[in-house]
Amino acid sequence: MFDASRLALTYLLIEWVIRLAMVVILPMRRSPEAARSWLLFVLFLPVPALILYRFIGRAQFPAWRQARFADDQPFRQQVARDLAADGTEQSEIQQLAETLGGFPACAGNSARLLSNYDGTIAAMIEAIDAATIRIRLQTYIFADDRTGKAVVEALARARERGVPVHVLVDALGSRPWAKRSMALLRQAGVEARLVLPVRFAPLRRARTDLRNHRKLCLVDGRIVFVGSQNIVNRDFKPGIVNDELVARVEGPVVAAFDAMFASDWYLETGERLDALPIPAPPGSSVHQAMPSGPDFGTTGYERLLVELVHRARREVTIVSPYLIPDQALITAVKNAAARSVSVNLVVSQVVDQRLVSYAQRSYYQELLEAGARLHGYRRHLLHAKSVAIDDTIAVVGSSNVDMRSFALNAEISLILHGADAVAPMLEILRGYLECSDELTLPEWRARPQTSRLLENLARLVSPLL
């Protein structure tokens, strides 16, 4: 005979076992913000929370992948030693970035910043068409649209010349196009792999949303395109046009980016790719590659960004389409503003992810009250990710200012050191500010109550986004 009361009691006991167990488990190796969000979820809905935790609860890869990353470490370290052989004296920030990402700053580089979307694709294709040794391309999105087909055609021409081509495409980021895009690449004779294929195994030990968000186009081991731009049409989302920022870099630093591609390829395939000699110096700028992500076991980009803001003396400019700062960064921004540092945060008025936008907006009042200046870029979706500190250091790459880029995604950044290298970035940032509307504290306080409610609700889950 069915006993509903016994079933209800059993379910209640299960809920309390989950709650008590999660109180112990959740705070371990997790930020206070994320732990609070999970604990709140567990408090009200313990069983659904446990199920969700099985899929996205652990920001780490399976043991086999961690072992493979460690196995590849000697290769990356050798490249780092070769780069350090130029004798460039490392500043404290450069030492920090090397500790976090594995590669030292090196001199003899040159960079050109590209902000024209179609012009950047054309520049990549031009470099691909001039390749004679090899091509390596890594992206979060590779579509089979006009842009994607143009790149595939260039890669096919390279293969016809006998140039080896390797391509890595994130499986989740490219999911709407992956089957068709991979078929096009393979038809062109390209060695292509999907990165981190999504498998919903019930006992999977890694989050299914740990992604490889890096964007790299490497040509002949001497040129790299690094930044925010994917291989997809600028208006691939209906009603939204993207503005991006990419650096075209030549010089010894390219070897570090090349090593990270080879490391990612090894993680996915178990196959080692050959390294080329360190490129000859075509310029005089000091640059540094800094990869980050779950493989490194620390929130590398977040730690670098917090330290940069703490060290600012005159001006900080941070550009990110998704701005969900953690407490450490909020404190750094508040302290900078209290030192009379001009803190400019540039976000996009155009929104492509509504929940993320509400979570982001929940931090505006605190930032404005601290003295930071918020600028809403009005032209398009500003998908660029960049940072400038005073006139001495700048960063461009794939990392947003949110938990996803801090802890969950594999990211890659180019750090520009020195006034001459940073000057072009400052010019681009001034252009962003000219195309933005500044949000004032009185304006923000006058927003509707419904917006406040949605923002507060979204903030509860922001550490989980």
Residue 71 neighbours by CB distance under 10 Å: 12
Do the domains spanning 63-91+106-285 and 300-464 agree at the CATH topology level? Answer: yes
Query: In the CATH scheme, what is the code of domain 63-91+106-285?
Result: 3.30.870.10
Mean pLDDT of the chain, nearest integer: 91
| 300-464 CATH | 3.30.870.10
Nearest to 288 by CA among 253, 251, 246: 253
| pLDDT at residue 270 greater than cutoff 70 | yes
Q: Structural domain boundaries of the chain?
A: 4-56, 63-91+106-285, 300-464
* Per-residue pLDDT tens digits for 194-207: 999 876 554 444 56
Q: Could you tell me which of 173, 172, 194 has the C-alpha nearest to residue 182? A: 194
Residue 73 CB-half CA count within 13 A: 11
On whether the CB atoms of residues 358 and 458 are closer than 8 A, the answer is: yes
Nearest to 343 by CA among 322, 307, 360, 367: 367
Count CB atoms within 10 A of the CB of residue 22: 21
Rounded to 10°, the helix 46-56/32-44 angle is: 140
Q: How far apart are CA 392 and CA 423, in angstroms?
A: 9
- The answer, yes or no, to whether residue 271 has pLDDT greater than 70, is yes
pLDDT of residue 200: 56
Residue 434, classified by CB atoms within 10 Å of its CB into exposed (0-12), middle (13-18) or buried (19+), is: exposed
Specify burial of residue 135 (Cβ count, 10 A radius: 0-12, 13-18, 19+): buried
- Say how many residues make up the chain: 465
> Is the pLDDT assigned to residue 460 strictly greater than 70?
yes
How many other CB atoms are there within 10 angstroms of residue 18's CB atom? 18
Task: Tell me the C-alpha distance between 459 and 465, whole Å.
Answer: 10
Which residue's structure tokens are 């998908």?
383
**Confidence tier at 12 by pLDDT (50, 70, 90):** confident
Q: How far apart are CA 444 and CA 4, in angstroms?
A: 52
- Is the pLDDT confidence value at 57 over 70? no
Kindly report, residue by residue over 134-162, the tens digit of the pLDDT: 999 999 999 999 999 999 999 999 999 99
343 and 371 in contact (C-beta within 8 Å)?
A: yes
- Specify the pLDDT at position 107: 97
Cβ-contact 327, 33 below 8 angstroms: yes
